[in-house]
Amino acid sequence: MPKWAIWAIIAAVVVLAFGSQLFSQPTGEKLSYTEFLVQVKNGDVKKVTINNASNIISGTLQSGDKFTTTGAVSLSDADEQLLKQMGVDYDYKTPQANWISSLLPVILPFLFVMGFFVWMQRRAMGQAGSIMSVGRSKAKAYQADKPSTTFADVAGYDGVKLEIKEVVDFLRTPERFKEIGARVPKGILLVGPPGTGKTLFARAVAGEAGVGFLSVTGSDFMEMFVGVGASRVRDLFQQARKLGKAIIFIDEIDSIGRKRGAGLGGGHDEREQTLNQLLAEMDGFEATEGIVILAATNRPDILDNALLRPGRFDRQIIVPLPEYEERLSILKVHSRDKRMGPDVDLDTMARATPGMSGADLANLVNEAALFAVRRGQLHIERLDFENARDRVVLGARRESLVLSPDEKRATAYHEGGHAVLATVLPHSDPLHKVTILPRGMALGVTWTLPEERHTYSREYFEDLICKAMGGRVAEKIIFGQLNSGAANDLEQATGIARRMVREWGMSDKVGPMAWSGQQQVFLGEDLMTSGREFSDSTAQLLDEEVSRILLEQEARAHEFLERHRRGLELVAEALLIEETIDGPTVGRLVQEGLDAPAPSDATA
């Protein structure tokens, strides 16, 4: 029963119980009892009715006007005699009590008790119903007539749009495919790094096709009860079949689609049972039914092979990090509703943000808008984008951290070593800026702009390691001692050297051999399988080669910085004064250091 019906019943009961009293109140001019007696003595009163219950006296004057007054509990003998003498027609009236109002004292307690029991029963049924519905799918359904995303809302990625457009054409005009005998893939797996827009593509497909769209995440299938995940998978596909043509989108499918046989939980593991049911359901319908499954993941390497075979997820579409043209389009999309200043150059910003995903670029534009608001500006200017990029890439500036003069000087030479090597090394990325202002967890930052490339040479990695050694070596040359500021640099250099030897075959002694890291149990590998695939002698050789690369690049960094020591000093002095200098300034200072002879009283 709806809530308004309950209130309507209560109002009806009140009207029936008290309506006669509410609507039977006498009307007319209100007189005092003294004024009433005066009117009687003057012969102006024609008729009077006395209510025995309420002592209200109502009547009619000779002029026809009505009046009311309130008398005593009973008229005195003198007043009654006065009415008789003046010929006033008077009468006593005792109103009858409403039978409903007389029954209410008995009925109301009974109704309250019955209502309490009905409420308790419904509450118990609701709890039981929630337990019984635990196996229902939690998919969110979006109808075809609901406004949704289209391909026009997805900037760039023309290749991905072209691949996925077949699904849209099939759901719109399936007869074209039937005529030629073509079979559209049952399932399409969107693979790519986080933030590249995989979920956005799924919504765009549903919007373009104009069909029902069921969206669910992999974690929605998991529950504490055994068998709930499999039940929800069955219910999900039943919902899709009722819609006729529909798209099922499973986000983060790796949460239920990981490799089976991990050795934990056995074959009765809830996740494995959910995956088994998903595999069975994907085999249980034909492509002609008009149901297409889209899934998204950024971990395709851990998915079960049975899930990826033809007939289930027939096609994998890579959604990579955007290239320059795509980044420019994404920046334009996210800048449409922003007030942009005349000096903002999105083309330059797109070139300066390699490796950023669509989500990163959206955050960059928003951060620029926040910086403009903090400065009290009405438009987003180029300076705001520069500050936003520094914050996103380098971290927020730590205003509260104050370095001592010695720490500031050491940081200036440390970052100067990185900057000089980034300028003089032949295969290094171009230097953008260097600062000794603390940002994030770093006391200073040297920022280079990587060029658009997809393969890297051994020389590039060697220069990368050499540049990472620049801060440590610069401190050793200038101060003759080392400190803990190079910890992160050494970690990055060691990681690159290890991958050069173990994965990329860039060691002449090791040769064209590759060994990946130890496989974890959750990837589906056997629990008892050893993760190391090489002998102790090979492990020693790998360690020796990693050490050799690091030592060689440290010596190379020492050689370059000794050659450009004057330039290093000029860069450090500029950092101590300016705190932040750009790449062209560093290049000019390094060149000045080469042209001018080093002073005899060089800093020791």
Q: How far is CA 436 from the centre of its chain?
A: 34
The tokens for 145 are 């007539």
Of the candidates 308, 289, 318, which has an alpha carbon nearest to the alpha carbon of residue 162? 318
Q: At 146, is the secondary structure helix, strand, or coil?
A: coil
Cα-only R_g, the chain: 43
590 touches 567 (CB < 8 A): yes
- What is the phi/psi pair of residue 92, to 5°? -100, 140
Catalytic residue annotation: 415
Tell which phi-psi region holds residue 265, choosing left (phi > 0), alpha (psi between -120 and 50) or beta.
Answer: left
Q: How many CB atoms within 10 Å of residue 243?
A: 18
Question: What distance in Å separates the CA atoms of residue 197 and residue 106, rounded to the nearest whole number?
Answer: 67
Could you say which DSSP state residue 410 is in?
A: H
- For every residue of 237-306, which 3-state class applies, written as one string? HHHHHHHCCEEEEEECHHHCCECCCCCCCHHHCHHHHHHHHHHHHHHCCCHHHCEEEEEEECCHHHECHH
Task: Report the sign of the C-alpha dihedral through residues 528, 531, 534, 538, in that order.
Answer: negative
Strand partners, 216: 250
| Residue 40: count of CB within 10 angstroms of its CB | 19
> Is 317 buried (19+), middle (13-18) or exposed (0-12) by CB count in 10 A?
buried
